[in-house]
Amino acid sequence: MHEKLLAALGTVNDPELHRDLVSLGMIERAELTSGVAHVKVNLTTPACPLKATIERDVRQAVMSVEGVQDVEIEFGAQVRAQSTPALPGVQHVIAVGSGKGGVGKSSVAANLAAALAASGARVGLLDADVYGPSIAHMMGQGAARIAANAERKMQPIEAHGLRFLSMANLMPAGQALVWRGPMLHSAIQQFLKDAAWGQLDYLIVDLPPGTGDVQLSLTQTVQLTGAVIVTTPQDVALIDASRAIDMFRKASVPVLGIVENMSYFVAPDTGLSYDIFGRGGASRLAQQFGGLPVLGEVPLDTEVRQDADAGMPAVLAHPDSAASRALLQVAKNLAGRVSVQAFAGALEPLPMV
């Protein structure tokens, strides 16, 4: 019966990888007990955007096997690393960047990290905006201080189910950091290689605006899985976002997609939608660069700002708001893109457990 179940499951394709679950090694268990088929599927990410589709197709395929009266499906997840490991124990390093400030890049980075962690992934968040660090405040840990562990490595601070590091937790509050390029490079290297990140599926790096020293240091220090570009729909933001995309391409870093932040505003009293900064700019930018994915459009929402000021990512504080739903979908789309890229050059399936 095990072989019959596997044969049926071999007809189910992962919707994004376009290969069957059996050859991908995603079926951990398939057995029949008293007419009930017990199937465990290991997804390629806890934040799989098409989990419901896979569940439906698995159920339909298994129910077609003679003797099966019901199906119980259990899901696990095993995030596959890229071919070249990013850091010891870290499967993927993903940069979140923008061409200019004021587009909500840090807010998007913090909420993406929190959303991925809430899905069950092991997540780290690095605040690489050294001159203007804000992640510590958004995580509600502005007063915390980074300590060293027994191996004299920086111990990331834990909050909201993830680990993070920020220059704000090393400097006195309100003190300006006056550093030249070489010191920035050294700081980025230390945050990446002299920190006890442990085992992570995703390390999200919140970059400063622009295309300067920190961006170059990051691409030279670690093998990035890819970059996410955050922009608002207005032309002045899109012009600078295009420069950020060009910089990553010149550094041979894949651009995983674009997020259109503050895409529109829905008035809470009337329900009317207003395109304050225009709309659809990310789609135009994506087409300009050959059809890059648009990971999502996030509306302008005062709760996102209020939650950030209160030290709680909006996806956790108000998960049912329109902005949070959009951010949660962006996180799923991003995780899916990373999985597809990780499998693109893979010759071997995930190991069976």
Percent of the chain whose pLDDT exceeds 70:
97
Look at residue 70 and tell me if it is in a domain: yes
**Domains: count for the chain:** 2
Q: Which of 172, 142, 173, 171 is nearest to 159 (CA)?
A: 142
pLDDT digits (tens, 9 = 90+) for 265-292: 999 889 899 999 999 999 999 999 999 9
User: Annotated binding residues, as ranges?
Assistant: 99-106
Spatial separation of the C-alpha atoms in residues 104 and 241, rounded to whole Å: 13
Average pLDDT over all residues of the chain: 91
Q: How does residue 33 score in pLDDT terms, banded at 50, 70 and 90?
A: very high
Instruction: Kindly state whether residues 72 and 106 are assigned to the same domain.
Output: no
pLDDT digits (tens, 9 = 90+) for 52-62: 999 999 999 99
Question: Beta partners for 70?
Answer: 36
pLDDT of 19 strictly over 70: yes
Residue 349: its pLDDT value, please? 38
Residue 350: its pLDDT value, please? 37
Instruction: Kindly state whether residues 191 and 167 are assigned to the same domain.
Output: yes
Backbone angles phi, psi at 248, to 5 degrees: -65, -40
Spatial separation of the C-alpha atoms in residues 214 and 251, rounded to whole Å: 13
Q: How does residue 194 score in pLDDT terms, banded at 50, 70 and 90?
A: very high
Instruction: Kindly state whether residues 99 and 226 are assigned to the same domain.
Output: yes
pLDDT digits (tens, 9 = 90+) for 205-261: 999 998 888 998 999 899 999 999 999 999 999 999 999 999 999 999 999 999 999
pLDDT digits (tens, 9 = 90+) for 143-191: 999 999 988 999 999 999 999 999 999 887 777 777 777 888 888 999 9
Residue 13: its pLDDT value, please? 95
Instruction: Kindly state whether residues 304 and 230 are assigned to the same domain.
Output: yes
Q: Are 155 and 196 in contact (CB under 8 A)?
A: yes
Instruction: Kindly state whether residues 108 and 69 are assigned to the same domain.
Output: no
Residue 175: its pLDDT value, please? 73
User: Annotated binding residues for ATP, as ranges?
Assistant: 99-106
Q: Are 292 and 253 in contact (CB under 8 A)?
A: no
Q: Which of 334, 272, 275, 307 is nearest to 115 (CA)?
A: 334
Spatial separation of the C-alpha atoms in residues 53 and 207, rounded to whole Å: 34
Task: Tell me whether strands 123-127 and 90-97 are parallel, antiparallel or unpaired.
Answer: unpaired
- In angstroms, how far is the first alpha carbon of the chain from the final one? 19
Domain boundary (48, 77, 106) is at 77
Residue 173: its pLDDT value, please? 75
pLDDT digits (tens, 9 = 90+) for 81-107: 877 767 889 999 999 999 888 999 999
Look at residue 85 and tell me if it is in a domain: no
Domain boundary (33, 51, 77) is at 77
**Three-state SS letters, the chain:** CHHHHHHHHCCCECCCCCCECCCCCCEEEEEEECCEEEEEEEECCCCCCCHHHHHHHHHHHHHCCCCCCEEEEEEEECCCCCCCCCECCEEEEEEEECCCCCCCHHHHHHHHHHHHHHCCCCEEEEECCCCCCCHHHHCCCCCCCCEECCCCCEECEEECCEEEEEHHHCCCCCCCCCCCHHHHHHHHHHHHHCECCCCEEEEEEECCCCCCHHHHHHHHHCCCCEEEEEECCCHHHHHHHHHHHHHHHHCCCCEEEEEEECCCEECCCCCCEECECECCHHHHHHHHCCCCCEEEEECCCHHHHHHHHCCCCHHHHCCCCHHHHHHHHHHHHHHHHHHHHHHHCCCCCCCCC
**Residue 238 is encoded by which pair of tokens?**
């899109």
Domain boundary (56, 77, 98) is at 77
Domain region containing 154: 90-344
Q: Are 62 and 69 in contact (CB under 8 A)?
A: no
pLDDT digits (tens, 9 = 90+) for 112-150: 999 999 999 999 999 999 888 999 999 999 999 999 998
Residue type, 162: L
pLDDT digits (tens, 9 = 90+) for 337-349: 999 998 875 433 3
Residue 353: its pLDDT value, please? 29
pLDDT digits (tens, 9 = 90+) for 249-270: 999 999 999 999 999 999 988 9
Look at residue 349 and tell me if it is in a domain: no
Indicate yes or no: pTM above 0.85.
yes
Instruction: Kindly state whether residues 52 and 155 are assigned to the same domain.
Output: no
Instruction: Kindly state whether residues 143 and 241 are assigned to the same domain.
Output: yes
CATH number at residue 178: 3.40.50.300
pLDDT digits (tens, 9 = 90+) for 62-88: 999 999 999 999 999 999 887 776 788
Q: How does residue 1 score in pLDDT terms, banded at 50, 70 and 90?
A: low
CATH number at residue 15: 3.30.300.130
